[in-house]
Amino acid sequence: MPVGKIGELLVQAKLISQEQLDHAFEVQQLTPGQPIGQILCQMGWLKARDLDHVLDFNNKRRKLGEILISQNLINEERLNNALKISKDEKIPLGRALIRQHLLDEDQLARAIASQHDLKYVSLAGVYFDPALSSFINATYAQRLRIVPIRCRDNILSIAMAYPLHREERLQLENWCKMTIDMVIAKESDIIIAQQKVFKMSGAPALEEQGFELSEDQIRDPVKSKYVGDFISADVDFLVKRLITTGIMRGASDIHLESTEHGMIVRFRIDGILQTIELGVSDALISANARQMVSKIKIMCDMDIAERRRPQDSSFKMSVSKEGKRRNVDFRVSTVPTQFGENVVIRILDKRSGGITLEKLGYFPEDIATLHKALEKPTGIFLVTGPTGSGKSSTLYAVLSHINHPGVKTLTIEDPIEYSIDGIVQTEVNEIIGNTFARLLRAFLRQDPDNIMVGEIRDLETATISMRAALTGHSVFSTLHTNDATSAVTRMIDMGVEPSLISTTLRYVLAQRLVRHVCVSCKVPYTPSAQLQSELGIPNGSGMEFFQGKGCPSCNFTGFSGRRPIVELWVPTREELLMVNRRPDNLSLRNIVFSVPGRMTMIESGFRLVQAGETKLEELLRVVPYEQIEAGREKIAQLFEAA
């Protein structure tokens, strides 16, 4: 913005005099590049809040993209691409530009300073007085990406990557009881300065919540066969931050993805990949990407020199929160890609006991039906669904229900995800030949009452499981099928004799997980008429719908946690006799779910929509299309009956 324009506006607003403006012009000649507004603020003639107000009120603040184009740093096409990334991933435009390697941090910081009429400073080599930490809370500073750098004459100078909003600055001034002088600095410099000012050694915000991550169970890098590989303190800090954030946020997986423009980190939370604020700059992560991969490889004893082939391994960590310690397992997979290695870390949080169907979010009537089915002393009990649909959690809840001192329960798992007192748990290890089938045979000589087989993957495991059920045991397992009745056709396709299925099958529970609307930002909304029609909801139904508008509690996704939607099939004698005739799934399904009181998965999900706990869009996302087609008529009938 031309200097004269902002100066004239300030004079017109009677915030400064013409004489003061002229004097500021003279000072600016001695300090080229310093914004006129910054000079006026430093001389005490203008308050930063008033300067911001004038700029915003008169719509005189140039857009960051316009400034960068005018400086020939980017073109319009690249700006539009970065704007799309910024919108899709909910990150600042500047961060999107750096991620694409279109700008460096110095260029971005100078452009932001120009946009907001603030001074740019370099924090390299600056001495930070430890007393500065008393002015601002460390967690607050970390969240806003700010750091105090100087205090003089009741003016607190604060460096920041992005300017504070007017309300944030007022809040800070009221808190500090001083005038705030804002300056712009590189984001990575601010993070380093925060560590010096606040003596940050790790993740302070997480430590303040009583969360501690112990590396005492990790293979010692010093004793590794890769002693020559140097891992910096920055890399140790970054890897620990990734893992800590993943556990704290309840992520199932951490994805480190190498791209043309650097490394991207995402977390799978509630079944969806999300970008989460880590408190470190993208530039710092990308600069240390290769070393971070090496650090993770060392932790799980992979070959760090091998970058051309996929590798799989694991490591353990000890987590302590509020004095309670538990072990967490991590499964690591690396894959070479065009721009470097991709790493996925699966988090297997061995939470001890306490998991129940009620806590998982099952409806009371489904729990009652399930508990009644579990009263049968022998047989095979199946939970079906795709990967990530919560099958293992449901099995653990079932085992917890039947677990008591009078019975012996053994499990074969790959891997063990929850530890349950009173149950003997064993992990598959195919390297030494401990497969599901081999361990299952051994278990039959251990005098068990109940056996849990993590997954029926082949004919051998299926046959042994069913023969165990025939000999007086209760066997619990999972299958990958789309619905409850498909379990029968899937096992027949494996080669299992239908007569063996019909004499052992006791129940099949098919399920999916839908995301739960965040209660902190829940608001009414109206889905499109087309969407409602697709699910059989008539026009003018009067039904209320809810969604989350997005807030910090849910990482601005509108969802927090997940709930199961299920269909439970407890076969009747007639239905089991039909299994002997090798029915196709459609024929079997039409008979099974024509029985009054039995609810399909889409109907189960619709109950959650009616209760305002999930969205219609979630049902379309997780329920198989053929079930939506079949369930449309049933949902329409609900409104006709009403």
DSSP 314-371: EEEEEEEETTEEEEEEEEEEEEEETTEEEEEEEEEE--BS---HHHHT--HHHHHHHH
> DSSP per residue over 591-620, as a string?
HHTTSTT---HHHHHHHHHHTTSS-HHHHH
Q: Is the pLDDT of residue 380 over 50?
A: yes
pTM score above 0.75: no
Higher per-residue confidence, 189 vs 277 = 189
The CATH 3.30.450.90 portion of the chain extends over 206-348
User: DSSP class of residue 215?
Assistant: -
Mean pLDDT (whole number) for 606-619: 92
Pick the CATH number of 115-197 from 3.30.200.20, 2.40.30.10, 3.30.300.160, 3.20.20.300: 3.30.300.160
The CATH 3.30.300.160 portion of the chain extends over 115-197
Q: Is the pLDDT of residue 180 over 80?
A: yes
Listed range (195-209, 287-301, 611-625) with the worst mean pLDDT: 195-209
pLDDT band at 36 (very low <50, low <70, confident <90, very high): confident
CATH dotted code for 206-348: 3.30.450.90
pLDDT at 253: 94
pLDDT at 52: 66
Instruction: Please return the burial class of 382, using the count of CB atoms within 10 Å of its CB with bins 0-12, 13-18 and 19+.
Output: buried
pLDDT in tens, 216-235: 444 444 344 443 344 566 78
Q: Which helix (H) or strand (E) holds 18?
A: helix 18-30
Asked whether 454 and 428 are in contact (CB, 8 A), the reply is yes
Q: Is the pLDDT of residue 44 over 80?
A: no
What is the residue-averaged pLDDT of the chain?
A: 83
The CATH 3.40.50.300 portion of the chain extends over 357-641
Fold of 357-641: Rossmann fold (3.40.50)
Round to whole Å and give the CA distance between 117 and 107.
15
